[in-house]
């Protein structure tokens, strides 16, 4: 007998053998056992998750010689014929090859006739979304009111293309992508039954490459067995899938952590010799950072089958937790930007260079907290007090910091930052846009050297809590040299805000300009000779010489 591929040999033949999709199996089993059967079912989901398999199992459950139940016997002639694909009352149709309305009409001609052998005549239409509009219309009436001996089982990977009129007449089940752990577990079960030796990390790589599809995963497993000469080995699976370069990711990350750009680029060049998919390599880097974060925060969740687990533990202990989060975010953004790069390698290199460029710098006053190793106590565990008068040193540093802040405030005051004169302070800050409008429509309530309390007029209430508030706070911090805490409240302000002062001064200057025009000899002569009148709204002040030249 010729060899049968794993995807066909290990295809589930009853609901108990289904891997995953428990929500669908439970609903169908209850419907079969309680005789609450719908006339049309629609199975949706990505490729290789069990849509057609479920439809065939449902067909056996409906037509088994032992009766309708959720557990067909699998041994009667009907069950065997359905497994072999030769049951006369199960009509499997590939909608991708029969899209025309004539094909659909020919298919539906036999719907009124009773089944030949089985209890029900079952129409299994795969990739039903490929039907044309006329084909759906031809199917619609039959689908709505089929004879009692007919069941329709539809399957599609793209339910969005199925008309709503068809969807409304079907009981729809959405099959989920299978988790990596379930696929890996099924691989282990199959290989043990087949007597094939395997490496755990090889199964992990294959399960991840399956991308949620059991059928794709079994095809890869078949390929891996053939590639390894009857064994599933880690190195050979990596070579087969082209992921050899992923072994260099820990060294790349270590170089980034050390701030060694030359070493990081050397690792990329070494990985490029294996002609990797740099998009896939970047995804593996994201996965690596995720695992490091898990090891740092919840080491109990770390899987024993993770590749290079000891190396990951070393990185988890060496890389600061905040750096891991930053690198993860940069890598995610890099995945989005990679298609826009001139080539994938330069895009991948740019991700590493960004990590180096934005890596938080260590300072003597505030050293960064290093990550905790997986074997160390948790973050919430109090550590013993260090010897050598640590409390006294801490107090001394606090006093020094307080003195430094006091000196900064004194320096800021001497440089002209006077919150009693809020308008002059704003002129010194040189704010723009909405931040300037927010500041001009407020007055100072209090300033204690660190906390600045402002009252904002209702007209500026929409700017409170916006980006304008953040920019105002940043400008105050830069001008004073102190980490200013800005607190705003909205209320009617009695005192004059800078905006009111500016408006009043503008009105006074405008009135003075109109008065000057009214007594100007030239204007008076024009009024007398030409019976002219002064239009007050047209009077504009010109304060700067360049504005005068521009107007002339």
Residue 88 near residue 117 (C-beta atoms within 8 A) = yes
**List of E strands, 214-317:** none
Q: Is the pLDDT of residue 344 over 60?
A: yes
Convert the pLDDT of each residue in 480-533 to its tens digit.
888 888 888 888 888 888 888 888 888 888 888 888 888 888 888 887 788 788
Over residues 198-249, the pLDDT tens digits come to 988 888 889 888 888 999 999 999 999 998 888 898 888 887 887 666 778 8
CATH number, residue 288: 1.20.272.10
Residues 221 and 252 in one domain: no
Q: What is the CATH number of the domain that holds 216?
A: 1.10.8.60
Cβ partners under 8 Å of residue 47, min gap 6: 157, 213, 215, 216
Label residue 125 by pLDDT band (50, 70, 90). Answer: very high
In a domain, 73, yes or no: yes
Same domain, 258 and 344: yes
- Phi/psi of residue 497, nearest 5 degrees: -80, 160
Q: Looking at the domain assignment, is residue 365 inside a domain?
A: no
Co-location of 164 and 192 in the same domain: no
Q: Same structural domain for residues 319 and 459? A: no
Provide the edge-to-edge strand list for the sheet that holds 442-447. 442-447, 451-456, 485-490
DSSP letters along 390-412, please?
HHHHHHHHHHHHHHHHHHHHHHH
Answer yes or no: do 463 and 513 share one domain. yes
Indicate whether 403 pLDDT > 70: no
pLDDT band at 390 (very low <50, low <70, confident <90, very high): very low
Q: How far apart are CA 101 and CA 118, in angstroms?
A: 28
- 386 in any annotated domain: no
Burial of 497 (0-12, 13-18, 19+ CB in 10 A): buried
Please identify, among 157, 174, 191, the residue that sits at the C-terminal boundary of a domain.
174
Task: Provide the CATH number for the domain around residue 501.
Answer: 3.30.300.150
What are 94's strand-pairing partners? 126
73 and 106 together in one domain: yes
Rg, C-alpha atoms of the chain:
38
Q: Same domain, yes or no, for 214 and 164?
A: no
Same domain, yes or no, for 22 and 147?
Answer: yes
Structural tokens at position 544:
């700067």
Is the residue at 1 inside a domain?
Answer: no
Residue 331's pLDDT band, with cuts at 50, 70 and 90, is very high
Provide the pLDDT confidence category of residue 400 given band limits of 50, 70 and 90: low
Final residue before a domain boundary, out of 225, 241, 257: 241
Q: What pLDDT score does 183 carry?
A: 92
* Full domain range(s) for residue 120: 6-174
Tokens of 416: 């002209």
Least confident segment among 73-82, 349-358, 368-377, 519-528: 368-377
Last residue of a domain, one of 174, 196, 225: 174
For residues 166-178, average pLDDT: 91
Residue 52: the pLDDT is: 92
Provide the percentage of residues in the chain whose pLDDT is more than 90. 30
What pLDDT does 510 receive? 82
User: What's the average model confidence in pLDDT over 173-194?
Assistant: 91
* Helices (runs of H) and strands (runs of E) counted in the chain: 24, 8
447 and 486 both lie in a single domain: yes
CATH code for the domain in which residue 65 is found: 3.40.50.300
**Confidence tier at 122 by pLDDT (50, 70, 90):** very high
Is residue 223 in some structural domain? Answer: yes
Do residues 89 and 121 touch, judged by C-beta distance below 8 A?
Answer: yes
407 within some domain: no
Q: How confident is the model at residue 273 (pLDDT cuts 50, 70, 90)?
A: confident
| Domain match, 28 and 168 both | yes
Residues forming a β-bridge with 123: 91, 152
Question: pLDDT of 60-89, one tens digit each?
Answer: 999 999 989 999 998 999 999 998 888 999
Which of 55-69, 111-125, 529-543 shows the lowest per-residue confidence on average (mean pLDDT)?
A: 529-543
- What is the domain count for the chain? 4
201 and 122 share a domain?
no
Mean pLDDT over each residue of the chain, to the nearest integer:
82
The shares of helix, strand and coil residues in the chain, as percent rounded to the nearest 5, are 55, 10, 35
Structural domain contains residue 38: yes
283 in the same domain as 217: no
Region 119-141: mean pLDDT is: 90
As a whole-number percent, the residues of the chain with pLDDT over 70 amount to 85
Answer whether residue 391 shows pLDDT above 60: no
The pair of three-digit structure tokens given for residue 482, joined into one six-digit string = 């102190």
């Amino acid at each position: 007998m010729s060899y049968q591929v794993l995807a066909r040999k290990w295809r589930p033949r009853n609901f108990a053998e289904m891997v995953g999709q428990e929500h669908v199996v439970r609903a169908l089993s209850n419907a079969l056992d309680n005789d609450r059967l719908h006339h049309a079912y629609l199975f949706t989901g990505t490729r290789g998750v069990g849509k057609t398999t479920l439809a065939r199992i449902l067909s056996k459950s409906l037509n088994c010689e032992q009766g309708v139940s959720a557990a067909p016997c699998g041994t009667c002639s009907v069950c065997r014929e359905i497994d072999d694909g030769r049951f006369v009352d199960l009509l499997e149709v590939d909608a991708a090859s029969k899209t025309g309305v004539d094909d659909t009409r020919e298919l539906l001609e036999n719907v009124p006739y009773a089944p030949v052998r089985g209890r029900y005549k079952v129409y299994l239409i795969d990739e039903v979304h490929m039907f044309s509009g006329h084909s759906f219309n031809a199917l619609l009436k039959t689908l709505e009111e089929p004879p009692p001996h007919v069941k329709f089982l539809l399957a599609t990977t793209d339910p969005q293309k199925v008309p709503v009129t068809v969807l409304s007449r079907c009981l729809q089940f959405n099959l989920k992508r299978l988790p990596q752990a379930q696929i890996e577990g099924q691989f282990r079960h199959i290989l043990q039954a087949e007597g094939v030796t395997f490496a755990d990390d090889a199964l992990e790589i294959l399960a991840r490459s399956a991308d949620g599809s059991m059928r794709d995963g079994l095809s890869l497993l078949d390929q891996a067995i053939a590639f390894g000469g009857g064994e599933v080995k880690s190195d050979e699976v990596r070579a087969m899938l082209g992921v050899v370069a992923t072994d260099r990711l820990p060294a790349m990350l270590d170089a980034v952590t050390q701030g060694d750009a030359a070493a990081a680029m050397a690792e990329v060049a070494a990985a490029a010799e294996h002609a990797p998919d740099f998009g896939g390599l970047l995804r593996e880097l994201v996965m690596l950072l995720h695992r490091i974060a898990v090891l740092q925060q919840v080491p109990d969740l770390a899987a024993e089958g993770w590749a290079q687990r000891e190396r990951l533990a070393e990185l988890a202990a060496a890389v600061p937790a905040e750096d891991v989060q930053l690198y993860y975010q940069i890598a995610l953004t890099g995945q989005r930007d990679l298609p826009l790069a001139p080539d994938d390698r330069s895009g991948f290199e740019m991700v590493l260079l960004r990590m180096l460029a934005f890596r938080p710098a260590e300072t003597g006053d505030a050293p960064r907290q290093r990550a905790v190793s997986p074997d160390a106590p948790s973050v919430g565990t109090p550590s013993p007090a260090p010897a050598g008068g640590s409390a006294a040193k801490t107090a001394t540093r606090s006093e020094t910091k307080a003195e430094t802040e006091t000196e900064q405030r004194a320096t800021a005051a001497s440089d002209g930052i006077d919150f009693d004169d809020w308008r002059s302070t704003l002129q010194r800050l040189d704010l723009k846009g909405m931040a300037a409008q927010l500041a001009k429509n407020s007055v100072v309530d209090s300033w204690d050297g660190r906390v600045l309390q402002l009252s904002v007029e209702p007209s500026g209430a929409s700017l409170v809590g916006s980006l304008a508030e953040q920019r105002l706070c940043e400008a105050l911090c830069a001008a004073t040299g102190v980490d200013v805490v800005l607190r705003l409240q909205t209320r009617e302000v009695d005192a004059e805000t800078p905006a009111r002062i500016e408006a009043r001064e503008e009105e006074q200057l405008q009135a003075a300009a109109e008065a000057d025009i009214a007594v100007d000899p030239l204007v008076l002569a024009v009024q007398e000779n030409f019976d002219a009148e002064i239009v007050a709204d047209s009077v504009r002040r010109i304060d700067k010489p360049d504005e005068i030249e521009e107007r002339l």
